[in-house]
Chain A
């Protein structure tokens, strides 16, 4: 069945979901691109369009300014900048999309990191006139650091370089040279576009017959993300213990959580970290019935064949492939707070569903994210800085390298006095 035949009623039930992030500055056409994706996929409604038509007219804009669709808060509209991550939604008959729309300037690195943390794919916008610049480097570094496996280099404003194939090829070459220094990105796709004119955004461009690849939207609809989740190392952080105390479920003791990797089945041998006690899975429950297997990112409730002491913050893992357990952690940290990190800070650490205390023992280096050079002579972390630290936690963590598992490889640091989220970290 082709997607065109799907009705709204049946068609949407079996769609999958792609989360992607866009980063860009005021003038590189990011808001116009998103505005166009939303507009051309009919995610914009008439009343929203009327509102921006009115505003464009008041501001004296020549055309309807699609960028206004994505400038949400009043402060941002007044200053003409995007200061936070904004989430947008649209769907085609093939997929539902969640866009984490982030500002691209270096002073908003933390917002880019936030947007990237849940994304499968990143769109990095390159101005065809400027080519690969510091900002391209920064966005690609962040996509790589946050382990986004699919990257689209959207070479925008092709209309301003006379739709030149030669220019497009030059930019590809520039990017490839630079990207060889980044490790994790699995899949890079280059697409020449004009967000303003709509070329290769939804429909194939007639101005660039030399380009044989997909339009941006077609690529977003079809890129294979089925192997993005880790289905090897089974991780189940316990959120909540369910004890109904009812007549029917008198002895029920279920561990509720969301699977953070791997596949769990009834009969599996598991161990509980950090205690190390073992058991077998008796059943995997949902309100709709028992599951024969459960995998990321599903929420479920697990019962075991024997009573062991398990509470929130513990992790149920498969016995044949356990995570590391320890108190000394090496991590890449991105700093979010106005209050800088000087040497040994003490924090509340949140990792999966566990909370403990942590102390920063050592700052190894910071990264200049425009050049990828290490900075070793200035080790104070100010807002938006990224670098490597060593920590010691008060209680042992069951963890994996972030490269292996996003869920068990990430944590945040919270100020114990203000409760502010100070930084976010990826375990090495």
Chain B
């Protein structure tokens, strides 16, 4: 009897490809949310595999907070031109300028909440009925019960008490006008799976993920990179540290970790030994115990 065992990475890849194809087939106008972070990079790679040798049959949508790391933007533009994808940008700065959203004030203001409105506006403007995201169930406990096909009402809200059951591999993407879906092909992946997969597939990553010397300030226990958006406040000193980033978000809130891991193998070893979740250094999740659940209900990624 031949051995038909399928390794966990092949099972996860195959499942994600299945979900991507279901999305293309069940919806009129899907879009892939591209943040420049590793999960959305893996998603883009999987989307290429799902439809190869054809091109990805939907655009990539980047919700641009205006607070970007330069490395992320360079990476995005190179990738898009290399694979011939169609890129759509939803700009938070533009939404602020046009008065559709009001910027938070105060010392710890962040554009995280404004991203939600810009995302919902962009989805409406483009008449997208399914937004593919890189969310994983292992990231945060409010995500542990998230579906692959997650229904959103006409206000873009998530109702955790009224989710559609998902059995086997049958996904119900039917909806009424004005509603949309968030789709999460990486639901069953863990952070370790994502790293293992990137290594196996030789997927290049933005340089920020690898350890490098950088000027930083320590704010509320979070290591923030000094940039045009983050300047030292009174009592804070600029230090140069060897750091890397574990997630790629708004430059004003995404914390770095001290690290010497400057290769994929070293990062994987570091992830294996890590004692904090990757969102552990996201200031936005620290606001309250159910911060993520509250943002998800409003329409966060």
Question: CB within 8 Å of B: which of A229-272?
Answer: 229, 231, 239-240, 242-246, 248-249, 252, 254, 256-258, 263
Question: B276 — which chain A residues lie within 8 A by C-beta?
Answer: 45-47
Question: B12 — which chain A residues lie within 8 A by C-beta?
Answer: 17
Segment of A135-143, A180-188, A208-216, A410-418 engaged in the interface with chain B: A410-418
Q: Tell me whether A407 and B275 are in contact (CB under 8 A).
A: no
Size class of the contact patch on chain A: 35 or more
Complex Cα distance, B165 from A303, in Å, reads 34
Contacts A96-B193, A226-B4, A336-B165; is A248 near B172 (CB within 8 Å)? no
Q: Tell me whether B18 and A239 are in contact (CB under 8 A).
A: yes
Segment of A191-199, A292-300, A387-395 engaged in the interface with chain B: A292-300
Segment of B45-53, B103-111, B124-132 engaged in the interface with chain A: B45-53
Does any Cβ of A come within 8 Å of B144's Cβ? Answer: yes
Complex Cα distance, B151 from A170, in Å, reads 48
Does any Cβ of B come within 8 Å of A207's Cβ? Answer: no
**How many residues does chain B have at the interface if contact means C-beta atoms less than 8 Å apart?**
69
Q: Which of chain B's residues has its CB closest to A88's CB?
A: B144
Encode contact with B along A272-308: 1 for CB under 8 Å, 0 otherwise. Answer: 0000000000000111100000011111010000000
Question: B272 — which chain A residues lie within 8 A by C-beta?
Answer: 8
Closest Cβ–Cβ distance, residue B161 to chain A (whole Å):
7
Question: B89 — which chain A residues lie within 8 A by C-beta?
Answer: none
Question: A258 — which chain B residues lie within 8 A by C-beta?
Answer: 14, 17-18, 169
Does any Cβ of B come within 8 Å of A84's Cβ? Answer: yes
Q: Tell me whether B275 and A46 are in contact (CB under 8 A).
A: yes
Question: B170 — which chain A residues lie within 8 A by C-beta?
Answer: 350-352, 410-412
Report which of A86, A91, A239, A252 forms a contact with B21, defined as CB distance below 8 A: A239
Most buried by B among A13, A72, A85: A72
Q: How many A-B residue pairs have CB under 8 A?
A: 190
Q: Tell me whether B11 and A297 are in contact (CB under 8 A).
A: yes
Complex Cα distance, B167 from A336, in Å, reads 11
Contacts A297-B15, A350-B170; is A252 near B268 (CB within 8 Å)? no
Q: Tell me whether B145 and A243 are in contact (CB under 8 A).
A: no
Complex Cα distance, B11 from A83, in Å, reads 28
Closest Cβ–Cβ distance, residue A49 to chain B (whole Å):
9
Does any Cβ of A come within 8 Å of B289's Cβ? Answer: yes
Does any Cβ of B come within 8 Å of A3's Cβ? Answer: no
Encode contact with A along B258-284: 1 for CB under 8 Å, 0 otherwise. Answer: 000000010011011111110010000
Report which of B55, B141, B165, B176 forms a contact with A72, defined as CB distance below 8 A: B141
Does any Cβ of A come within 8 Å of B112's Cβ? Answer: no
Complex Cα distance, B161 from A411, in Å, reads 23
Question: A252 — which chain B residues lie within 8 A by C-beta?
Answer: 53
Does any Cβ of A come within 8 Å of B3's Cβ? Answer: yes
Q: Which of chain B's residues has its CB closest to A115's CB?
A: B167
Does any Cβ of A come within 8 Å of B70's Cβ? Answer: no
Complex Cα distance, B17 from A287, in Å, reads 12
Does any Cβ of A come within 8 Å of B5's Cβ? Answer: yes
Q: Tell me whether B168 and A407 are in contact (CB under 8 A).
A: yes
Q: Tell me whether A239 and B25 are in contact (CB under 8 A).
A: yes
Does any Cβ of B come within 8 Å of A27's Cβ? Answer: no
Closest Cβ–Cβ distance, residue B223 to chain A (whole Å):
15
Complex Cα distance, B159 from A352, in Å, reads 27
Closest Cβ–Cβ distance, residue A269 to chain B (whole Å):
20
Complex Cα distance, B168 from A95, in Å, reads 21
Does any Cβ of A come within 8 Å of B175's Cβ? Answer: yes
Q: Tell me whether A75 and B164 are in contact (CB under 8 A).
A: no
Encode contact with B along A97-134: 1 for CB under 8 Å, 0 otherwise. Answer: 01000000000001101100110000000000000000
Question: CB within 8 Å of A: which of B7-26?
Answer: 7-15, 17-18, 21-22, 24-25
Q: Tell me whether A87 and B293 are in contact (CB under 8 A).
A: no
Q: Which of chain A's residues has its CB closest to B279's CB?
A: A47
Complex Cα distance, B170 from A336, in Å, reads 15
Does any Cβ of B come within 8 Å of A421's Cβ? Answer: yes
Encode contact with A along B56-82: 1 for CB under 8 Å, 0 otherwise. Answer: 000000000000000000000000000
Does any Cβ of B come within 8 Å of A318's Cβ? Answer: no
Question: A95 — which chain B residues lie within 8 A by C-beta?
Answer: 8
Question: A12 — which chain B residues lie within 8 A by C-beta?
Answer: 8, 192, 196, 268
Q: Tell me whether B3 and A96 are in contact (CB under 8 A).
A: no
Q: Tell me whether B22 and A239 are in contact (CB under 8 A).
A: yes
Complex Cα distance, B147 from A86, in Å, reads 10
Encode contact with B along A6-50: 1 for CB under 8 Å, 0 otherwise. Answer: 011100111111000000000000000000000000000111100
Question: A407 — which chain B residues lie within 8 A by C-beta?
Answer: 168-169
Q: Tell me whether A47 and B49 are in contact (CB under 8 A).
A: no
Contacts A9-B265, A348-B174, A414-B174; is A85 near B4 (CB within 8 Å)? no
Question: B172 — which chain A residues lie within 8 A by C-beta?
Answer: 350, 412, 414, 419, 421
Question: A301 — which chain B residues lie within 8 A by C-beta?
Answer: 52
Q: Tell me whether B274 and A45 are in contact (CB under 8 A).
A: yes
Complex Cα distance, B275 from A55, in Å, reads 19
Q: Tell me whether A72 and B53 are in contact (CB under 8 A).
A: no
Contacts A47-B277, A240-B21, A350-B170; is A263 near B4 (CB within 8 Å)? yes
Complex Cα distance, B19 from A240, in Å, reads 12
Closest Cβ–Cβ distance, residue A240 to chain B (whole Å):
5
Q: Which of chain A's residues has its CB closest to B136's CB?
A: A89
Question: A298 — which chain B residues lie within 8 A by C-beta?
Answer: 6, 10, 14
A17-B11, A297-B14 given. 16 additional CB < 8 A pairs? A15-B7, A17-B12, A47-B277, A48-B141, A72-B142, A73-B142, A89-B188, A229-B4, A231-B4, A239-B21, A286-B52, A288-B49, A295-B4, A297-B15, A299-B18, A419-B174
Q: List 10 A-B contacts (CB under 8 A).
A: A13-B9, A16-B8, A239-B22, A240-B25, A285-B52, A297-B6, A299-B15, A299-B50, A353-B25, A424-B165
A positions within 8 Å CB-CB of B: 7-9, 12-17, 45-48, 51, 55, 69, 72-75, 83-89, 91, 95-96, 98, 110-111, 113-114, 117-118, 226, 229, 231, 239-240, 242-246, 248-249, 252, 254, 256-258, 263, 285-288, 295-299, 301, 312, 336, 348, 350-353, 406-407, 410-412, 414, 419-421, 424
